[in-house]
């Protein structure tokens, strides 16, 4: 499954889930997150074996792991791993990983919006983008996308951010899933809503380019009123400067 991308595992509501049980534990996370954050680990017992979902995952740990060869939605798998290491090392970036043994089979990335995008040009420190979701083809249809979202948004730090996800139909895996654009949009909507995100209207050019495209948003309960107001002003602009 890939968000944004394409989440081939996205079919959360059209599948028979094999998740049997969950256990959880927390372990301290060092440097960038020290003293303020914990890493949550969920263990999934599935028909495909034990899968651990961890977030945030340190760049050092990601670097020590392998990666499934099927993780190539955006670039070759080995380059995708390098990108995950880089994002996890950002001051305001982090990665949720799903692993089978010592290999990454899924991930979600979060990072500040690009400085050349409408959402990034405003310089709102409390604005964060859910950049990508991907699940390896061999591990789709077991609710892994939802579990990664669950771990990601269980992090108390999320309450400090307006989290956005820009959904463009041309990034969706329509051929691989056999879904049409509206079916895929419905699946993406359900996935994002599972973490408390809601669809917001906007006149941003790329989102407005097709009626299936959408902007999903979650406003944390500790976001400053100034940041919320600044984000609201970004939704509609007569022209982008």
What tens digit of pLDDT does each residue of 42-61 get? Answer: 999 999 999 999 999 999 99
For residue 70, the Cα-to-chain-centroid distance in whole angstroms is 18
Nearest to 77 by CA among 57, 58, 104, 109: 104
pTM, entire model: 0.82
pLDDT digits (tens, 9 = 90+) for 172-214: 878 877 889 999 999 999 999 999 999 999 999 999 999 999 9
d(Cα 227, Cα 124) in Å, to the nearest integer? 6
DSSP-assigned letter for residue 3: E
Instruction: Specify the pairing of strand 214-219 against strand 2-3.
Output: unpaired
What does the pLDDT read at residue 2?
A: 53
pLDDT, tens digit only, all 241 positions of the chain: 555 433 333 333 333 333 333 333 434 343 344 335 678 899 999 999 999 999 999 999 999 999 999 998 788 999 999 999 999 999 889 999 999 999 999 999 999 999 889 999 989 999 999 999 988 988 988 999 999 999 999 999 999 999 999 999 998 878 877 889 999 999 999 999 999 999 999 999 999 999 999 999 999 999 999 999 999 999 998 655 4
CATH class of 2-235: alpha beta
Nearest to 120 by CA among 166, 154, 157: 166
Which residues in 138-169 are b (16+ Cβ under 10 Å) and which e?
A: ebbbbbbbbbbbbbbbebebbebbbbbbbbeb
The token duo for 234 is: 């970004």
């Amino acid at each position: 499954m890939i968000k944004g991308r394409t989440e081939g595992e996205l079919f959360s509501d059209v599948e028979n889930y094999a998740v049997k049980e969950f256990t959880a534990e927390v372990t301290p996370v060092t440097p960038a997150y020290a003293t303020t954050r914990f890493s949550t680990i969920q263990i999934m017992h599935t028909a495909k074996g034990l899968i651990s979902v961890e977030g945030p995952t340190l760049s050092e740990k990601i670097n020590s792991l392998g990666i499934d060869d099927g993780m190539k939605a955006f670039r070759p798998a080995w380059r995708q791993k390098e990108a995950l290491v880089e994002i996890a090392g950002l001051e305001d970036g982090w990665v949720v990983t799903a692993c089978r043994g010592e290999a990454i089979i899924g991930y979600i990335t979060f990072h500040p919006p690009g400085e050349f995008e409408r959402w990034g040009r405003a310089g709102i420190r409390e604005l964060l983008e859910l950049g990508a979701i991907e699940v390896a083809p061999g591990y789709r249809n077991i609710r892994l996308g939802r579990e990664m979202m669950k771990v990601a948004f269980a992090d108390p730090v999320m309450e400090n951010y307006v989290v956005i996800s820009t959904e463009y139909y041309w990034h969706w895996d329509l051929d691989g899933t056999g879904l049409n654009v509206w079916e895929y949009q419905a699946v993406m909507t359900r996935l994002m809503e599972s973490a408390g995100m809601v669809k917001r209207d906007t006149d941003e050019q790329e989102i407005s380019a097709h009626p299936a495209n959408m902007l999903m948003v979650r406003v944390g309960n500790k976001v400053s009123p100034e940041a919320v107001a600044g984000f609201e002003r970004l939704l509609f602009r007569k022209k982008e400067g």
